[in-house]
Amino acid sequence: MAPGTHHGFATVSTDTGHNSNSTDLAWALGNEEMRIDWGWRALHGSVVLAKKLVGAYYEKEADHSYYSGCSTGGRQGLRELQQFPDSFDGALIGAPAWDPTLMNSYVTQVGLYNLPVEDPRHVEKDMLEVVAAEALRQCDGLDGVQDNIISAPGDCKVDLTALSCDRPDIVKDKCLTEPQIETMNKLYEDYRSPTGEFVWTGYEPGSEIQWSTVIGSDKPSAFGYGFQRYFVYDDPEWQWQDYNFSVLEDTVKKDPGQSRAAKYDLSDFKGRGGKILLYHGMADGLVPTRASALYYDRVTDAMGGPPTDFFRYFPVPGMQHCASSAVSAPWHFAAAFQASVMGNDTWSVPGFKDAHHDILLALVDWVEKDTPVDSVIATTWNTANDSSTGVLRQRPVCPFPQQAVYDGKGNVDEAASWQCREEGASSRLGLPSGLVVGVIVVITSLMLWA
């Protein structure tokens, strides 16, 4: 919440009605009312209450209201603006786990790809670094610049036979057997039903380091089977070994807590002048990056064309789940809880507290000054979480379908050497600008998706 107050916002957050760590889902057992609080109701109630408090304290209603959240926080923001389009004028939505019924089923399925540990297909976590290095070797250059950052993961089909233990030149404790290669390939692929229908997106090349949570230990991640136990079947003894596609179907049918943010026609939010900035790290190994592209695509379809006049999607090369990078990619643009990675007293982007570098300020300008967000410059430092060590790299992140294109001559670590280039023309709505007096931002910074 603290960064919002530094900008002069009145800020509110909520625990959504329960108190637990993020892998302990037992609070939900047999309690659909608490699940609904988590699914959407606590957030909505907090927004309504916060607006009342601001109105009473300042004796004047807030002129504008904003949302900033990532992961489950991203889902919560989408869920709120879908059902209550008047809640926010602008919403900053990060890496949303926007359909928990599919996402939490998928997590258990991914765990099962890699289990049991005695099975020849099982891959140990320490191999993920080896797989990541191979993906980087194969994919980095495809975007035109060798910089350790995979910026066009969609163009790369990783061929892991390069790590095959059958190769004579391979280092024996850094190789994959044929069944292990199949396991890793499954994580790149989309999740499909037994009859081949698309269900949920898999992971991008470059996200491998962060797969350590979803590939599980001697059991799948509790984010998955905890959901099945405490949200779907109300059975603390439910065994992850019993997961199959029928479990996913039961989950979708029950929709525990009404948490799915799966509405694609956003006409009501758009109609009242609302703006959305969606961002997602391309190296996210928790919530798959392609899930955000999928949501954006479906909105494009539902609204009869690219929604760029009120909704823009920024994929962020090299960024992991909501923040940070394993490949020194620029990742900090003052989105939800990014400042807290830098320490307790940090807010906005240290040294660059302006709308070119701070995406929340860019969103405010879009809402209040009618200046659409054409790019945001991301930053990283020599020690990634310590700005006193000096800037290492800056680079613009661009709204889909644009991407940052290198000018071929400047320093690749400087933002001025890159340009957002668009393939198609984007249309823009001229909306009237408003006055700034008292504003409110809701920041919900739940780290994961439970």
- Chain contacts with ligand NAG (rule: CB under 6 A): 21, 23-24, 194, 244-246, 342-344, 385-386
**Residues forming beta bridges with residue 386, ordered by sequence position:** 383
Least Cα distance to 322 among 188, 147, 448 occurs for: 448
* Least distance CB 222 / ligand NAG (angstroms): 8
In this complex, which beta carbon is closest to ligand NAG, that of residue 244 or of residue 433?
A: 244
| Burial of residue 28 (number of CB atoms within 10 Å: 0-12, 13-18, 19+) | buried
Residue among 326 and 342 whose Cβ is closer to ligand NAG: 342
Nearest-approach distance from CB 342 to ligand NAG, in angstroms? 6
Nearer Cβ to ligand NAG, position 23 or 371? 23
Task: State the Cα–Cα distance between residues 253 and 247, nearest whole angstrom.
Answer: 10
Rounded distance, CA 232 to CA 242, Å?
13
For residue 11, give the DSSP letter: E
CA angle (370 as vertex; 369, 373 as ends), nearest 5: 105
Q: How far is the CB of 244 from ligand NAG (least distance, A)?
A: 4
Q: How far is the CB of 177 from ligand NAG (least distance, A)?
A: 27
- For the bound state, the minimum distance from the C-beta of residue 15 to ligand NAG, rounded and expressed in Å, comes to 15
25/18 Cα distance (integer angstroms): 10
Q: How far is the CB of 439 from ligand NAG (least distance, A)?
A: 26
One DSSP character per residue, 157-191 reads ---GGGGBTTSTTS-GGG-B-HHHHHHHHHHHSPE
Taking the least distance from each CB to ligand NAG, the nearer of 90 and 220 is 220
3 state SS for 363-401: HHHHHHHCCCCCCEEEEEEEECCEEEEEEEEEEEECCCC
Find the shortest distance in angstroms from Cβ 339 to ligand NAG.
11
Q: How far is the CB of 429 from ligand NAG (least distance, A)?
A: 41
Which token pair is 334?
Answer: 């003052």
Nearer CB in complex with ligand NAG: 439/446: 446
**Closer to ligand NAG by Cβ: residue 13 or 402:** 13
**Shortest Å distance, C-beta 367 to ligand NAG:** 31
Please give the angle made by the CA atoms of 187, 232 and 219, to the nearest 5 degrees.
Answer: 45
CA 309 to chain centre: 22
Which CB, 78 or 107, lies closer to ligand NAG? 107
Contact 272/248 with Cβ under 8 angstroms?
no
Question: For ligand NAG, which is the closer residue by CB, 146 or 195?
Answer: 195
Closest to ligand NAG by CB, 226 or 438: 226
- 296 versus 331: smaller Cβ distance to ligand NAG: 331
> Helices 100-113 and 178-188, interaxial angle, to 10°?
170
Q: CB of 323: closest distance to ligand NAG in angstroms?
A: 12
**C-alpha–C-alpha distance, residues 173 and 35, integer Å:** 45
278-293 exposure pattern, b = at least 16 Cβ within 10 A, e = fewer? bbbbbbbbbbbbbbbb
**Residue with the two structure tokens 């609070």:** 27
Residue 351: CB minimum distance to ligand NAG, A: 14
Question: 420: helix, coil or strand?
Answer: strand
Q: How far apart are CA 414 and CA 258, in angstroms?
A: 45
Q: For residues 195 and 427, which CB has a smaller minimum distance to ligand NAG in the complex? A: 195
Name the 3-class secondary structure at 328.
coil
Tokens representing 2 are: 């603290």
